[in-house]
Amino acid sequence: MSSEDMIPEVCIAKFMVKYFPKSELPKINHRIAGIAKRAKIKHIKYFRISNYPITLTKDNEFPTEATKERILRSIWKYSSMKGKFEDFEVSIEDIEIKDRSNVSYKFRHDKD
């Protein structure tokens, strides 16, 4: 990945948030397919968010792990989810960028 691809952009995006309790991870990743399938159906939940500002690189990746954590926590609070963020595995899927522009601040990959 070139350094130009790592330049972060502020994006207005529509995406799907996937979450499930961390305590259910052993069942979801179970080696017996039937158990895993039932656990996925029962425990994995989704919701869609539209027109939400997020910081991404040109490859639609988070510039740093700290940025990813901060954005996921922000989405958790924004959506008024019940339960502690730390007790859930949360990820973003199907990102559709509606608009993007370069960040208007000095982004420090080592500090963020």
Q: How far apart are CA 94 and CA 47, in angstroms?
A: 11
Q: Which segments within 26-73 are labelled E, that is strand?
A: 45-56
Residue 39 lies in a domain: no
**Has residue 90 been placed in a domain?**
yes
User: In this structure, is residue 60 part of a structural domain?
Assistant: yes
Residue 27 covered by a domain: no
> What residue numbers bound the domain in which 96 lies?
9-16+46-102
| Residue corresponding to tokens 């994006």 | 11
Establish if 112 belongs to a structural domain. Answer: no
Mean of pLDDT over the chain: 87
Tens-binned pLDDT, residue by residue, of the chain (112 aa): 555 556 788 899 999 999 999 999 999 999 999 999 999 999 999 999 999 998 888 888 888 898 899 999 998 988 888 889 999 999 999 999 999 888 766 655 555 5
For residue 55, tell me if it sits in a domain: yes
User: How far does Cα 105 stand from its chain's mean position?
Assistant: 22
Give pTM, 2 decimals: 0.79
66 domain residue, yes or no: yes
Residue 10 in contact with residue 55, Cβ under 8 Å?
A: yes
Residue 89, domain member (yes or no)? yes
